[in-house]
Amino acid sequence: MSEFHRKIERNTMRFVLAIIVVASIGGIVEIAPLFTIKSTVEAAPNMRVYTPLELAGRSIYMREGCYACHSQMIRTLRDEVERYGPYSLAVESQYDHPMLWGSKRTGPDIARVGEKYSDAWHVAHLYNPRDVVPESVMPAYRWLLRNELRIDDLPGHLRAMRDVGVPYTDAMIENAAKDAFGQAAPESDAAVGVTERYGAATHMRAFDGNAGRLTEMDALVAYLQIMGKLTDAAQKTEQTKIGE
Amino acid sequence: MIARLTVAERQSALLILIVMSFLGLAMAAAGRGTPFGLHGFLVIAASIGVGLPLLRKFYAPEPDPAQFEQYYDDPTKVGIVLAMLWAIAGMFVGVWVAALLAWPDLTIDAAWASFGRLRPIHTSGVIFGFGGNALIATSFHVLQRTSRARLPDQLSPWFVLLGYNLFCVVAATGYMMGVTQSKEYAEPEWYADIWLVIVWVVYFLIYIRTLARRKEPHIYVANWYYMAFILVVAILHIVNNLAVPVSFGDFKSYSAFSGVQDAMTQWWYGHNAVAFFLTAGFLGMLYYYLPKRAGRPIFSYRLSIISFWGITFMYMWAGSHHLHYTALPQWVQTLGMTFSIVLLVPSWASAGNALATLNGAWHKVRDDATLRFMMVAAVFYGISTFEGSFMAIRAVNSLSHYTDWTVGHVHAGALGWVAMITFGSIYALVPWMWKRETMYSARLIEVHFWLALAGTVVYVFAMWNSGIIQGLMWRTYTDSGTLAYSFIDSLVAMHPYYIARAFGGLLFLLGAIVGTYNVLMTIRVAKRERAQSGGGTDVPSYGRDPVLQAGE
């Protein structure tokens, strides 16, 4: 062994190539098949994409670093399923660029928090968590209610998402800004066409309680309320992997 | 320092800065009124900040050719100081966010000051700011000594060091403005990522070019690790950061991969950032500074080979242990667990090799806090790699994952291993660099050592306790078969440990401040001494600096 190694360690290029080859094997074996083996991601034909407003909310979720304390991945363990709901399937995050599975639960998992609490609860909780959960250590996000949501760049965001593989249609991209406003102002003209493009079950309401003004709070609450609701694949799949 | 650059190098530097200023201007124009535009102004400011002192010495005469007979250490010197300053900044933010978890209302109503935006400043500040600068600074030093060759030119090391720090500043200021990819330890957005690739390529070329000029037949083992660090970090960084930006002028991008593929790629990156940034690079430090300081050769050449290739091969399989019991297919989880366990062999080979090297020098460990830093680092390296393999076992991971135990494990490695080996190496390196016999104060090194050790122990024990309590509370059932505790019950139980953790971190931060003071005072005293001795030229180090041979 030593003789062989002495040859390698006397030649820079040989050494560099050896490192690249040896280090590449693990990643190639573990990652490449995930794109090719079909059973990796379950089928969910009825799954819908994020509306522009929800996508904007997701960006705010990322901007504020929520992933540092909240996971979005319920493991196949009995206590997790009983605490949070059916364990997460791969397909549920197939439109998540990037995924936000998280690695730490300083706060609870929120993969299935959608529709679990009212909009008003979320607004109050985000404005000051300790108003509704006295023991909470979550930061207060008061500026979400102050900041108006920027929507003029949303077509660009949807287009980038389409570039990485999310099936947004031309109509969705074209109407992105209008749809974002309309989803949170169901009585307005802008609301026309939102459910047509994103499905009848789309939440159409003033998430922050004020339909006249579109705030970052609207977007974030819209995102939280759709969490775990893009597809019902997890509810329909028998939970056979628990404890495995 | 600038007068030591050749005239041609000064001209190239000016050209690079002009190009960068225009790039910054383009960014500022394209992203008017957004964080992207502000970063454009930051690039312009950085270019001017470096350009002004350059212009002041621009027409200085060509440097004395005698300097080319000596090693080129100016970038190393600046890198050491930058590393210490980043240590204070990163650890200060760490203590701050730790305090926020204990007292969440201890803050102001401003977005930039909230936990979620500060936390990546802490992680990037210590990993990339402190760790990265220390790696760059020491790698230039080690590379020249073990190759007995001067760096190939004097401009590219500056480009790497200063360009890298620009990346760090763009990253940290970006987080405050909400610019993040939300990929842990890969938060910087696309334009910062592209810039880092450019810097990294130049870094790699410096390595290759210097090794090509080496006067030693063998490439010394420390350089194997530094090279693995540079190469593999490049691979990881490029693959994990593949993304489509919304537009030029928008900071935001969408990652190429999604869902389960993205999760696997992210943790392949994340775990190997630990392996090749926080382990391989620092093992390079260990393999040079520990034997030098102890005055003993490396114990075993064979163990070095086994541990090097073992780490390079097996770490890359281990990332999936971050995804046990998730929607990742189980075969990948099983592979990740298996390799994580076998990884203990090369890890302990390194730790054992380091400790066995100290045989015959244990009296020095007792008397010399600098060497003691390195010894404790090797011990913590052994402890945290054992813990890591243990936590990668699925059954253990079902308890530990998502809890503070992970945080404790990371800090056992980051404080006990990475920071300790860095401080030890810097204390060994600073007197060599500034041509002094010793550091300004041996007493202060001793103070730093005990602050660092106490801080690490307090921190890690607090997180072990809180993590295990948390994990157990989440899975405890009552006699009637229902969950015994609500989530908030477990959070309330964490409070005392969060206070203890903040205290442990504070001790460690105080140690870093003491260390920085000691380094700066050493530099000051060295300068004063040289001024008194009448001008003073650098001592030529060719032929005088003993060069270690790998295991021989």
CA A31 to chain centre: 21
- Separation between Cα atoms, residue A120 and residue B51, nearest integer Å: 54
Q: Is residue B540 part of a domain?
A: no
Would an 8 Å CB–CB cutoff place B496 in contact with chain A? Answer: no
Q: What is the pTM of this model?
A: 0.95
- Separation between Cα atoms, residue A224 and residue B303, nearest integer Å: 52
Per-residue pLDDT, A243: 75
Residue B432 exposure: Cα atoms within 13 Å on the Cβ side: 21
Provide the pLDDT confidence category of residue B533 given band limits of 50, 70 and 90: confident
Per-residue pLDDT, B551: 36
Residue B12 exposure: Cα atoms within 13 Å on the Cβ side: 11
Check: CB of residue B300 under 8 Å from CB of residue B315. Answer: no
Residues 6+ apart with CB under 8 A from B61: none
Q: Is residue B539 part of a domain?
A: no
Question: How many CB atoms are closer than 10 A to CB B161?
Answer: 23
Check: CB of residue A211 under 8 Å from CB of residue A46. Answer: no
What are the structure tokens assigned to B164, written together? 């890298």
Q: Give the chain B residue nearest A94 (alpha carbons).
A: B259
- Separation between Cα atoms, residue A96 and residue B303, nearest integer Å: 44
What are the structure tokens assigned to A70, written together? 């909240």
Q: Are residues B461 and B509 in the same domain?
A: yes
Q: Are residues B21 and B104 in the same domain?
A: no
End-to-end CA distance of chain A: 41
Q: Is residue B538 part of a domain?
A: no
Chain B residues within 8 A of A37 when measuring between CB atoms = 329
Secondary structure (3-state) at B483? strand
In chain B, the percentage of residues whose pLDDT exceeds 70 is 97
Model pLDDT for residues B285-323, shown as the tens digit of each residue? 999 999 999 999 999 999 999 999 999 999 999 999 999
- Separation between Cα atoms, residue B341 and residue B314, nearest integer Å: 10
Chain B residues within 8 A of A75 when measuring between CB atoms = 324-326, 398, 401
Chain A residues within 8 A of B120 when measuring between CB atoms = 65, 68
- Separation between Cα atoms, residue B107 and residue A225, nearest integer Å: 28
Q: Indicate yes or no: CB of B259 within 8 angstroms of CB of A39.
A: no
* Nearest-CB residue to B326 (from A24, A101, A159): A101
State the Rg of chain A over Cα.
Answer: 22
In chain B, the percentage of residues whose pLDDT exceeds 90 is 95
What are the structure tokens assigned to B296, written together? 């003993």
Secondary structure (3-state) at A207? coil
CATH of the domain at B179: 1.20.210.10
* Nearest-CB residue to B254 (from A22, A140, A160): A160
Q: Indicate yes or no: CB of B259 within 8 angstroms of CB of A142.
A: no
Backbone angles phi, psi at A168, to 5 degrees: -80, 135
Would you say residue B537 has pLDDT above 70?
A: no
Number of domains in chain B: 2
Check: CB of residue B350 under 8 Å from CB of residue B311. Answer: yes
Question: From the CA of A145, how many Å to the nearest CA of chain B?
Answer: 12
Type of residue found at B378: A
Would you say residue B407 has pLDDT above 80?
A: yes
Q: Is residue B547 part of a domain?
A: no
- Domain enclosing residue B32, as ranges: 1-58
Q: Is residue B543 part of a domain?
A: no
* Nearest-CB residue to A137 (from B117, B260, B491): B491
- Separation between Cα atoms, residue A171 and residue A158, nearest integer Å: 11
Check: CB of residue B351 under 8 Å from CB of residue B383. Answer: no
Q: Are residues B17 and B108 in the same domain?
A: no
Question: How many CB atoms are closer than 10 A to CB B497?
Answer: 22
Q: Are residues B7 and B80 in the same domain?
A: no
Q: Is residue B284 part of a domain?
A: yes
Q: Which of B176, B326, B333, B480 to mutate to test binding with chain A, by most A CBs within 10 Å of its CB? A: B326
- Separation between Cα atoms, residue B536 and residue B74, nearest integer Å: 16
Q: Give the chain A residue nearest B493 (alpha carbons).
A: A135
Q: Which of A12, A16, A30, A220 to mutate to test binding with chain B, by most B CBs within 10 Å of its CB? A: A30
Would an 8 Å CB–CB cutoff place B248 in contact with chain A? Answer: no
Strands (E), B234-326: 243-245, 253-255
* Nearest-CB residue to A65 (from B116, B324, B491): B116
Chain B residues within 8 A of A103 when measuring between CB atoms = 184, 322, 401-402, 406
Backbone angles phi, psi at A232, to 5 degrees: -100, 20
Q: Indicate yes or no: CB of B302 within 8 angstroms of CB of A136.
A: no
Provide the pLDDT confidence category of residue B539 given band limits of 50, 70 and 90: very low
Q: Give the chain B residue nearest A127 (alpha carbons).
A: B109
Check: CB of residue A67 under 8 Å from CB of residue A100. Answer: yes
Per-residue pLDDT, A239: 79
Check: CB of residue A52 under 8 Å from CB of residue A176. Answer: yes
Residues 6+ apart with CB under 8 A from B52: none
Q: Are residues B44 and B126 in the same domain?
A: no
- Separation between Cα atoms, residue A227 and residue A42, nearest integer Å: 18
- Separation between Cα atoms, residue A70 and residue A52, nearest integer Å: 23
Interface A–B counts its CB contacts (< 8 A) at 263
Q: Give the chain A residue nearest B398 (alpha carbons).
A: A77
Question: How many CB atoms are closer than 10 A to CB B37?
Answer: 18
Per-residue pLDDT, A236: 87
Type of residue found at A241: K
Per-residue pLDDT, B542: 42
What are the structure tokens assigned to B126, written together? 């210590």
Type of residue found at A219: A
Q: For strand B253-255 and strand B243-245, is the pairing parallel, antiparallel, or unpaired? A: antiparallel
Q: What is the DSSP letter of A128?
A: -
Question: From the CA of A192, how many Å to the nearest CA of chain B?
Answer: 26
* Nearest-CB residue to B101 (from A30, A76, A106): A106
Question: From the CA of B4, how many Å to the nearest CA of chain A?
Answer: 29
Residues 298-327 of B with CB under 8 A from A: 301-302, 305, 309, 312-320, 322-327
Q: Are residues B26 and B104 in the same domain?
A: no
Q: Indicate yes or no: CB of B258 within 8 angstroms of CB of A79.
A: no
Q: Are residues B430 and B522 in the same domain?
A: yes
Would an 8 Å CB–CB cutoff place B239 in contact with chain A? Answer: yes
Backbone angles phi, psi at B436, to 5 degrees: -125, 160
Strands (E), B160-318: 243-245, 253-255
Q: Indicate yes or no: CB of B111 within 8 angstroms of CB of A143.
A: yes
| Residue listed under structure tokens 């977007």 | A219
Q: Indicate yes or no: CB of B219 within 8 angstroms of CB of A9.
A: yes
Q: Are residues B20 and B82 in the same domain?
A: no
Would you say residue B32 has pLDDT above 60?
A: yes
Chain A residues within 8 A of B339 when measuring between CB atoms = 26
Would you say residue B552 has pLDDT above 50?
A: no
Question: How many CB atoms are closer than 10 A to CB B124?
Answer: 27
Q: Which of B257, B287, B472 to mutate to test binding with chain A, by most A CBs within 10 Å of its CB? A: B257
Residues 6+ apart with CB under 8 A from B303: B349, B350, B352, B353
Would you say residue B541 has pLDDT above 70?
A: no
Q: What is the DSSP letter of A205?
A: S
Q: How far, in Å, are A122, A146, B10, B113, B116 from residue A127 at the CA level?
A: 8, 10, 54, 15, 15
Question: From the CA of B476, how many Å to the nearest CA of chain A?
Answer: 8
What are the structure tokens assigned to B64, written together? 């004395």
Quick one: how many helices (H) and strands (E) in chain B?
A: 20, 2
Q: How far, in Å, are B220, B358, B362 from residue B294 at the CA level?
A: 18, 7, 9
What are the structure tokens assigned to B434, written together? 């500034």
Q: Are residues B245 and B112 in the same domain?
A: yes
Chain B residues within 8 A of A106 when measuring between CB atoms = 101, 491
Residues 419-478 of B with CB under 8 A from A: 474-475, 477
Q: Are residues B21 and B159 in the same domain?
A: no
Chain A residues within 8 A of B320 when measuring between CB atoms = 30
Q: Are residues B170 and B310 in the same domain?
A: yes
Model pLDDT for residues B238-282, shown as the tens digit of each residue? 999 999 999 999 999 999 999 999 999 999 999 999 999 999 999
ipTM associated with this complex = 0.96
Question: From the CA of B122, how many Å to the nearest CA of chain A?
Answer: 12
Task: Walk along chain A (244 residues) and give the pLDDT tens digit of each residue.
Answer: 678 888 889 999 999 999 999 999 999 999 999 999 999 999 998 899 999 999 999 999 999 999 999 999 999 999 999 999 999 999 999 999 999 999 999 999 999 999 999 999 999 999 999 999 999 999 999 999 999 999 999 999 999 999 999 999 999 999 999 999 999 999 999 999 999 999 999 999 999 999 999 999 999 999 999 999 999 999 888 878 887 6
Chain B residues within 8 A of A59 when measuring between CB atoms = 252
Per-residue pLDDT, A242: 84
Q: Indicate yes or no: CB of B316 within 8 angstroms of CB of A23.
A: yes
- Mean pLDDT score, B385-399: 97
Check: CB of residue B158 under 8 Å from CB of residue B14. Answer: no
Q: Which of B438, B436, B440, B435 is nearest to B538 (CA)?
A: B435
Question: From the CA of B167, how many Å to the nearest CA of chain A?
Answer: 19
Q: How far, in Å, are B5, B13, B64, B363 from residue B205 at the CA level?
A: 19, 17, 26, 41
Q: How far, in Å, are A117, A142, A218, B357, B451 from residue B375 at the CA level?
A: 53, 48, 55, 10, 16
Q: Which of B284, B275, B263 is nearest to B313 (CA)?
A: B275
Q: Is residue B394 part of a domain?
A: yes
Check: CB of residue B23 under 8 Å from CB of residue B166. Answer: no
Secondary structure (3-state) at A104? strand
Per-residue pLDDT, A1: 66
- Mean pLDDT score, B67-88: 96
Would an 8 Å CB–CB cutoff place B112 in contact with chain A? Answer: no
Chain B residues within 8 A of A1 when measuring between CB atoms = 302, 305
- Separation between Cα atoms, residue B258 and residue A74, nearest integer Å: 17
Q: Is residue B20 part of a domain?
A: yes
* Nearest-CB residue to B116 (from A95, A129, A139): A139
CA B494 to chain centre: 29
Q: Give the chain A residue nearest B245 (alpha carbons).
A: A160
* Nearest-CB residue to B246 (from A10, A80, A157): A157
What are the structure tokens assigned to A72, written together? 């979005």
* Nearest-CB residue to B309 (from A6, A22, A96): A22
Strands (E), B453-520: none
Q: Give the chain B residue nearest A40 (alpha carbons).
A: B329
Q: Indicate yes or no: CB of B326 within 8 angstroms of CB of A106.
A: no
Chain A residues within 8 A of B107 when measuring between CB atoms = 139
Q: Are residues B15 and B78 in the same domain?
A: no
